[in-house]
Amino acid sequence: MHKIFVTVVLIFSLKDVHATFQNPLWGGADPYAVLINGTYYYVGCNGDDQIWIGRSSALYPYVDYKPVYTFPEGQWNSKEVWGPAALFQWNDGRLYMYYTADNGDNVNHRIGVLRAKTSNPQGEWEDLSLAVPVNTGGQWAISMTPFQDLSGNWYVTWSGWRDQNPFPQVTYIAQMISPTEIGPRVEISAPEYAWENSIQPIQEGQHVFRRGDKLFLLYSGNASWTDEYCVGALVYHGGNVLDPVSWKKRSEPIMQKTTQVFGPGGPAVVTSTDGNEFWMYYHSNNYSNSGWALRSINLIQLAFDANNNLLQLTPTPWQQNMQGPSLNTLRGTKIAKNSQSTAMHPRTMFNLLGQQVGVKNYNKGYSP
């Protein structure tokens, strides 16, 4: 007798102030999301030649995934498009996006800039870096993300090599002159603790967010292909943003592996729709030592003490119910769920997304 399994698609309107959810959210790595005019946009890269964007009225789940840019062949940026691709709105009101790519040789990884042709993030984009990448000192560079200081001045941070030696990967900052032009790079941090260099000395996946009078620069430490991958933090307390002494590194990772969650990294922080809560996307291995091949995206709420200090985070075991973001309204969202299971396996979600947006080689390694 043949068993028949039915997939049910539900379309519903849910107005639950605090809906519950479970990790993982979907398969993938190196998340990046941004809130624009009340809508979240999630940016993904296929690891080869394409960037795509999904949208949602909440932090999860994302729908309407669309490929927004495919890189032409034969250019410096035709291959190995790695996440995160950072979407932002510049002073001119236009939308821009930093990306990481090369010509098929990892040593040539550089940063480029896309600009949206309209105000719709899921519309058409044009490449402003077809001829020349962003000047990162002529050296290998990945993970560029923009941020503003407490006075509204723009900067970028990224992971790079000091020279042709691939290690260590260090944290750079530069002031933005425009989305395509930045000032001289300044190294503000390098791996020094065992938790960020026990396998390889790496800081990558930099992401900055502001809360109150502090800037927090999160990054992934150690080797991304191992369980030891973790999340570290630098905290800006004032002074010149380009001065390393203005940043203080936490001596311990703010998130690291547990007996149930392995290799958490790739932090990306956004607020709830009401702006009162800070949430962090991150990826983790699907199982111990699964490496780049099998990783999935998770979500966790950040917590702070009375002095606005970021508290330690413990990654939540998969399929454990958690309280979702405030005002997490899921309007018109399509959820596909196998009738035999209470939660969608990340591989199932990946397959659905792959079919929807033409993702190929999505789980290809995103780090050297």
CATH of the domain at 240: 2.115.10.20
DSSP lists the bridge partners of residue 141 as: 160
User: At 18, is the pLDDT very low, low, confident or very high (cuts 50, 70, 90)?
Assistant: low
* pTM, full prediction: 0.86
Task: Report how far residue 280's alpha carbon sits from residue 78's, in angstroms, rounded to the nearest whole number.
Answer: 30
Single-letter code of the amino acid located at 124: E
- Is 142 contained in some domain? yes
Residues in the chain: 368
- Is 363 contained in some domain? no
Question: What number of other Cβ atoms are within 10 A of residue 321's Cβ?
Answer: 11
- Is 366 contained in some domain? no
**Under a CB-based contact definition with an 8 Å cutoff, are residues 287 and 262 in contact?**
yes
**Nearby residues of 195 by Cβ (< 8 Å), 6 or more positions away:** 221, 222, 228, 230, 232, 252, 253, 256
**CA dist 313 → 10, 252, 280, 357, 362 (Å):** 33, 11, 10, 33, 27
Range of the domain at 58: 7-357
Q: What is the pLDDT of residues 165-212, one digit of tens each?
A: 999 999 999 999 999 999 999 999 999 999 999 999 999 999 999 999
Lowest mean pLDDT segment, chosen from 142-146, 172-176, 178-182, 274-278:
274-278
Percent of the chain with pLDDT strictly greater than 90:
80
**Under a CB-based contact definition with an 8 Å cutoff, are residues 187 and 162 in contact?**
yes
Phi, psi of 357 (to 5 degrees): -115, 5
Rg from Cα positions in the chain: 20
- Is 368 contained in some domain? no
Is 3 exposed, middle or buried (CB count within 10 Å of its CB: 0-12, 13-18, 19+)?
Answer: exposed
**Residue at token pair 């550089």:** 110
pLDDT value of residue 223: 98
User: At 275, is the pLDDT very low, low, confident or very high (cuts 50, 70, 90)?
Assistant: confident
**Under a CB-based contact definition with an 8 Å cutoff, are residues 56 and 63 in contact?**
yes
Residue 232 has pLDDT above 90, yes or no: yes
- Is 204 contained in some domain? yes
Supply 268's token pair.
């990306």
**How many domains does the structure of the chain reveal?**
1
Task: Report how far residue 358's alpha carbon sits from residue 52's, in angstroms, rounded to the nearest whole number.
Answer: 10
**Under a CB-based contact definition with an 8 Å cutoff, are residues 47 and 360 in contact?**
no
User: At 90, is the pLDDT very low, low, confident or very high (cuts 50, 70, 90)?
Assistant: very high
DSSP lists the bridge partners of residue 330 as: 14
- Is 362 contained in some domain? no
| Cis preceding linkage at 133, omega within 30 | no
Residue 348 has pLDDT above 70, yes or no: no
User: At 325, is the pLDDT very low, low, confident or very high (cuts 50, 70, 90)?
Assistant: confident
- Is 1 contained in some domain? no
DSSP string, 137-149: TTS-EEEEEEEE-
**Residue at token pair 């390393």:** 244
Q: What is the pLDDT of residues 105-122, one digit of tens each?
A: 999 999 999 999 999 999
Task: Report how far residue 184's alpha carbon sits from residue 116's, in angstroms, rounded to the nearest whole number.
Answer: 26
Is 281 exposed, middle or buried (CB count within 10 Å of its CB: 0-12, 13-18, 19+)?
Answer: buried
- Is 275 contained in some domain? yes
Lowest mean pLDDT segment, chosen from 103-112, 236-245, 253-262, 336-345:
336-345
**Nearby residues of 183 by Cβ (< 8 Å), 6 or more positions away:** 174, 175, 176, 177
Mean pLDDT of all residues belonging to the chain = 86
pLDDT value of residue 274: 86
